[in-house]
Amino acid sequence: MIVEQVVTNIDKISSDILNNCHLEKVYLESSDLVKRVQRVVTDHGREIGIRLKEQKDLSAGDVLFMDDHNIVVIDLIPDDLLVISPNSLQQMGDIAHKIGNRHLPAQFEGNEMLVQYDYLVEELLIELKVPYSREEKKVKQAFRNVGHSHG
């Protein structure tokens, strides 16, 4: 089977339909969400080719296939993350600036900054006494660098 577009997101499917369908999951790493062409295998062993026509990232919960009896949905493998919880706006600005200088992509959930685990960033957080935790966590979207140049 070749998938060329996302059908919908599982959040938009009624529970009546979900309860009456066989659900298969494709487990992806967050870095795979940006790949338009890839070969994946469901948790039931079905091989699927993904060749998206649109320039759109995949997301957790995207439905790759759906009929009256079956749904194939994307789920994510948790990332190894540093979950940074600064004590103040000043501390958030300071650590965001320092992480940005390292060109590390970050995501924000509420008052927390999420970055993929890096021992150098962990050492920096310890040195600056910025509260953080290291967690295995599913992110909603891929970590993506913002393109720019210093020229």
Tell whether 24 is covered by a domain.
yes
* CATH of residue 21: 2.60.260.20
At residue 56, the pLDDT reads: 86
At residue 117, the pLDDT reads: 95
At residue 151, the pLDDT reads: 53
At residue 140, the pLDDT reads: 77
85 and 65 share one domain: no
Number of structural domains found in the chain: 2
| DSSP assigned state of 56 | -
47 and 97 share one domain: no
67 and 89 share one domain: no
pLDDT digits (tens, 9 = 90+) for 25-79: 999 999 899 998 999 999 999 999 999 998 888 999 999 999 989 999 999 999 9
Backbone angles phi, psi at 122, to 5 degrees: -60, -45
At residue 103, the pLDDT reads: 87
43 and 8 share one domain: yes
Task: Report whether pLDDT(149) > 60.
Answer: no
pLDDT digits (tens, 9 = 90+) for 122-133: 999 999 999 999
85 and 69 share one domain: no
Greater confidence, 63 or 139?
Answer: 63
Task: Report whether pLDDT(99) > 60.
Answer: yes
Place of tokens 């958030």: 92
- Among residues 76, 94, 109, the one where a domain terminates is 76
**Per-residue pLDDT band at 139 (split at 50, 70, 90):** confident
Closest CA to 125 of 88, 83, 78: 83
Tell whether 9 is covered by a domain.
yes
pLDDT digits (tens, 9 = 90+) for 8-30: 999 999 888 888 999 999 999 99
Tell whether 129 is covered by a domain.
yes
- Among residues 39, 57, 76, the one where a domain terminates is 76
72 and 52 share one domain: yes
At residue 147, the pLDDT reads: 52
Q: Which two tokens stand for residue 84?
A: 């940074």
> 16: how many CB neighbours lie within 10 A of its CB?
8
Domain that holds residue 35: 2-76
38 and 87 share one domain: no
54 and 28 share one domain: yes
